[in-house]
């Protein structure tokens, strides 16, 4: 399934996650950045935030990245929330619509985080059913992002990378490969990050995320990596990103920074680092074609 | 506990661990050791707590400034435990914060604090309300004289009418504008204040203190009471008021988005309820 966009084509290059703190700066300066991504749930109201987004949308492709639809909920999607997502999609006509391979809602309670799913056949069927419902209603492809996690379930029978590949195969959804999340989860659970990337279906990868994480030493000396989006992309993650590009090709890439948000220029510089790697790859491809 | 839990049972067990601190049901379910489970659940709990506190801080900036960051974090945590969000749209979270502050012991000395919170919730709702087209005054003016008494207005989705018992609006304005001299001059006495809140064309909040009769008139109209009974009630309770002028002012300010026509004897019952 291709990604139709009435307004803009699929973005290229490296964009940044747009947060409220940079709204005014972006409108005033109109920086050289190929696209922006926003958190869907931040623009449900009709106030100033939506006005900023509409002003920015006039000049840049916008991707909608949801954090609350809870694709892994055993009890199905929240109808009210889903309709609000649909209304925003209609208004913004985003270049990508993405969500997470996780769950947040049970028994009418919203747990405001992206919680891990057991990797079972039951969970796979649930996620596929919810992704199907979303794509059928939106009549658009949705991208599913691999989560970062700190827990694993004893009764999981499917490795996460195979689970993602199966969701993509069964539903025709795309995959948003968060390279930082691959690194964080691999480090926390003892997986091989390179093997994780190698197991993903390259043709399904539509977008890549990069972000910062931190390390915390726990009691007993164990070190855990926290996906806190509070700093620059780590050196090891840049290395893994290069591996991802080598395997998947020049995939549109997005730099996220959600806590201790720096000045816009810092984020733009981080995106430029990703752009240089994308350009190097494209140059290599051109040279090899020419040869 | 068996590790062959259904997906729903797993989700309920993790919810219980995060919200209630009871990790026992997870012990046989997770591949991690007990210490790693406690650490991981703690990470999720902290992230959620931080996210909810930030959501409340964004909705209640004046309360946050009035009590300071540390106190606010404490009260936000207590509130979140009792009023867990039901929607992933965190703009909806925190509706009962003012009511919660009424009964929150450590804030008892700050009599105005729950009122400031109630006003801030109205402001928050106004700022995030859906957009709506303004009423066509031209269409209204085309009505015949004998049709006008039966006009029923639809209120703008961002219009909020709230009452408080303290000068919460004065405190709210002074604290957000960092107007120290105004803040020092405020005398916190108990007297009802009738407030109107609406999103202004620039996306900010308009907060007005109205006379009681005018506030009740707008409340009646926003409840869909027809113009004639609402005006009659306004006249009876506020003999000196310039009714036409008040109505024209609010029409021009975009309080309503539409109107329909129809008299209903139920209007008087609605007015009695509002009184």
Q: Which helix or strand (DSSP H or E) is residue A39 part of?
A: strand A36-39
Rounded Cα–Cα distance for residues A265 and A25 (Å): 10
Instruction: Copy the structure tokens of residue A214.
Output: 């931190």
Rounded Cα–Cα distance for residues B157 and B159 (Å): 6
DSSP string computed for B175-243: HHTT-HHHHHH-------EEEEEEE-TTSSEEEEEE-HHHHHHHHHHHTT--HHHHHHHHHHH-TT--H
- Expressed as residue numbers, the domain containing B206 is 129-275
Rounded to a whole number, what is the distance in Å from the CA of B170 to chain A's nearest CA?
24
Total number of domains constituting chain B = 1
Query: Where residue A250 falls among pLDDT bands split at 50, 70, 90?
Result: very high
Mean pLDDT to the nearest integer, A69-85: 96
CB contact under 8 A, A111 and B15: yes
DSSP structural state of residue B17: I
Q: Which member of B31, B36, B52 has the closest CB to residue A153?
A: B31
In chain B, the largest separation of any two C-alpha atoms, in whole Å, equals 79
Task: Give the pLDDT confidence score for residue B26 in this predicted structure.
Answer: 87
Q: How far apart are the first and last CA of chain B?
A: 57
Over the range B180-203, which residues count as b (16 or more CB within 10 Å of their CB) and which as e?
Answer: eeeeeeeeeeeeebbbbbbbeeee
Mean pLDDT to the nearest integer, B11-40: 89
Q: Is residue B160 part of a domain?
A: yes
Query: Where residue B71 falls among pLDDT bands split at 50, 70, 90?
Result: very high
Predicted confidence (pLDDT) per residue in B76-120, tens digit: 999 998 899 999 999 999 999 999 999 998 888 899 999 999 999
Rounded to a whole number, what is the distance in Å from the CA of B100 to chain A's nearest CA?
19
Predicted confidence (pLDDT) per residue in A33-71, tens digit: 999 999 999 999 888 999 999 999 999 999 999 999 999
Query: Where residue A2 falls among pLDDT bands split at 50, 70, 90?
Result: very low
CB contact under 8 A, B11 and A110: no
The residues spanned by each domain of chain A are 14-290
CB contact under 8 A, A68 and B29: no
Coil, helix or strand at residue B140: helix
Predicted confidence (pLDDT) per residue in B156-200, tens digit: 999 999 999 999 999 999 999 998 888 888 888 899 999 999 999
Sort out which chain A residues have CB atoms less than 8 A from B6's CB and list them: 74, 122
Q: Structurally, what CATH architecture does the domain formed by A14-290 represent?
A: Alpha-Beta Barrel (3.20)
Give residue for tokens 């009802």: B192
Task: Give the pLDDT confidence score for residue A11 in this predicted structure.
Answer: 78
Is the ipTM, as predicted for this complex, more than 0.90?
Answer: yes
A184: pLDDT strictly greater than 60? yes
Rounded Cα–Cα distance for residues A208 and B120 (Å): 39
Q: Is residue B245 part of a domain?
A: yes
B1: pLDDT strictly greater than 70? no
CB contact under 8 A, B48 and A78: no
Task: Give the pLDDT confidence score for residue B264 in this predicted structure.
Answer: 75
A121–chain B Cβ distance below 8 A for any pair: no
A29: pLDDT strictly greater than 80? yes
A41–chain B Cβ distance below 8 A for any pair: yes
Task: Give the pLDDT confidence score for residue A9 in this predicted structure.
Answer: 63
Q: What is the pTM of this model?
A: 0.92
Instruction: Please state, rounded to an integer, the average pLDDT across all residues of chain A.
Output: 94
Q: Is residue B35 part of a domain?
A: no
Q: Which member of A80, A112, A155 has the closest CB to residue B85?
A: A112
Q: Which member of B3, B6, B89 has the closest CB to residue A68?
A: B89
């Amino acid at each position: 399934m291709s990604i139709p966009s009435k307004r803009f084509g699929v973005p290229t290059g490296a964009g940044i996650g747009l947060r409220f703190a940079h709204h005014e700066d972006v409108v005033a300066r109109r920086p050289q950045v190929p696209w922006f991504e926003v958190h869907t749930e931040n623009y449900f109201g009709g106030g100033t935030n939506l006005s900023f987004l509409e002003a920015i949308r006039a000049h840049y492709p916008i991707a909608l990245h949801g954090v609350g639809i809870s694709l892994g909920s055993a009890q199905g999607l929240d109808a009210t929330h889903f309709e609000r997502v649909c209304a925003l999609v209609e208004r913004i006509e985003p270049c990508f619509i993405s969500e997470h391979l996780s769950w947040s809602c049970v028994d009418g309670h919203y747990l405001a985080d992206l919680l891990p799913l057991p990797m079972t056949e039951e969970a796979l069927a649930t996620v596929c059913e919810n992704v199907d419902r979303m794509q059928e209603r939106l009549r658009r492809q949705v991208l599913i992002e691999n989560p970062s996690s700190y827990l694993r379930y004893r009764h999981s029978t499917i490795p996460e990378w195979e689970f993602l590949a199966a969701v993509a195969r069964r539903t025709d959804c795309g995959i948003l490969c968060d390279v930082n999340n691959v690194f964080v989860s691999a480090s926390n659970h003892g997986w091989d990050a390179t093997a994780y990337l190698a197991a993903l279906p390259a043709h399904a990868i539509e977008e890549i995320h990069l972000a910062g994480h931190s390390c915390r030493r726990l009691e007993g000396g164990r070190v855990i990596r926290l996906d806190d989006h509070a700093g620059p992309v780590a050196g090891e993650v840049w290395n893994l990103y290069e591996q991802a590009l080598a395997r998947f090709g020049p995939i549109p890439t997005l730099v996220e920074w959600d806590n201790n948000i720096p000045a816009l220029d810092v984020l733009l510089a981080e995106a430029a680092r990703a752009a240089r790697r994308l350009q190097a790859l494209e140059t290599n491809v051109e040279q090899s074609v020419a040869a | 506990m068996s590790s062959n839990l259904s997906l729903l049972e797993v989700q309920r067990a993790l919810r219980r661990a995060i919200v209630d601190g009871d990790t026992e049901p997870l012990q046989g379910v997770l591949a991690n050791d007990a210490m790693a489970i406690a650490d991981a659940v703690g990470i999720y709990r902290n992230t959620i707590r931080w996210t909810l506190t930030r959501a409340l801080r964004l909705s209640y900036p004046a309360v946050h400034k009035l009590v300071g960051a540390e106190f606010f974090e404490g009260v936000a945590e207590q509130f979140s435990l009792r009023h867990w969000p039901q929607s992933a749209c965190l703009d909806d979270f925190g509706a009962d914060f003012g009511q919660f502050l009424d009964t929150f012991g450590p804030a008892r000395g700050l009599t105005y604090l729950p009122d400031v919170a109630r006003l801030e919730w109205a402001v928050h709702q106004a700022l995030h309300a859906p957009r709506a087209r303004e009423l066509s005054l031209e269409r209204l003016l085309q009505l015949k004289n004998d049709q006008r008494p039966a006009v029923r207005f639809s209120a703008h989705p961002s219009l909020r009418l709230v009452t408080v018992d303290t000068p919460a609006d004065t405190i709210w304005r002074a604290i957000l504008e960092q107007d120290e001299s105004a803040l020092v001059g405020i005398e916190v006495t108990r007297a009802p204040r009738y407030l109107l809140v609406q999103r202004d064309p620039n996306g900010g909040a308009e907060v007005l203190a109205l006379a009681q009769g005018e506030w009740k008139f707008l409340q009646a109209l926003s409840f869909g009471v027809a113009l004639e009974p609402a005006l009659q009630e306004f006249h009876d309770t506020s003999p000196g008021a310039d009714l036409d002028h008040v109505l024209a002012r609010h029409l021009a300010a975009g309080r309503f988005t539409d109107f329909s026509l129809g008299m209903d004897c139920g209007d008087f019952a609605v007015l009695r309820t509002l009184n």
